[in-house]
Amino acid sequence: MFWTILVSAVLLVVAFIISGQYLLALSLVVPLLLFAYLVDNAAPLQ
């Protein structure tokens, strides 16, 4: 679960950086990373 979210976030960042939307990329990535971090801690990988 965590890695799926992480990979999705990275792909989003790359796409936005290529298109030049740095601020939009940051505004989307920070909440995604926080969410992934919380999910990973709430439900540890087994």
pLDDT digits (tens, 9 = 90+) for 1-28: 677 877 887 887 788 778 887 777 778 7
pLDDT for residue 45 is more than 60: no
Proportion of the chain in helix, strand, coil states, percent, rounded to 5: 85, 0, 15
pLDDT of residue 1: 67
CA 25, distance to chain mean position in Å, is 10
pLDDT of residue 40: 78
**Domain assignments of the chain as residue spans, ordered by start:** 2-42
C-alpha span between 42 and 25 (Å, rounded) = 26
